[in-house]
Structure 1
Amino acid sequence: MAIRSAKIDQKADLIWAIADKLTGPYKPHEYGDVILPLTVI
């Protein structure tokens, strides 16, 4: 169970790292234009 939790935490950390990088070039009202396509990918 701990291994599964660690994998989920790693994936969540990756997603948050990408989100942190996107906050620089995009304004808050533009987040939706970027997040939905990335979620589909």
Structure 2
Amino acid sequence: LLESCSATGDCGPGLYCGNCPLVGKDQTICMRGQATQVTSV
């Protein structure tokens, strides 16, 4: 589920506002800045 945004402040923690060509949309969406892998022990 992708949320559209107009600024990084519109996104949740750990997300930034950017354009994702893979989505095939011309609008900016909230996406992760880095891929992080969390493992629980």
More helix by share: 1
Same fold (TM over 0.5): no
Greater radius of gyration (CA) = 1
TM-score class, shorter-chain normalisation, is under 0.3
Higher relative contact order (CA 8 A, sep 6+): 2
What TM-score do the two structures reach when normalised by structure 2?
A: 0.15
More strand as a share of residues: 2
User: What TM-score results when the alignment is normalised by the length of structure 1?
Assistant: 0.15
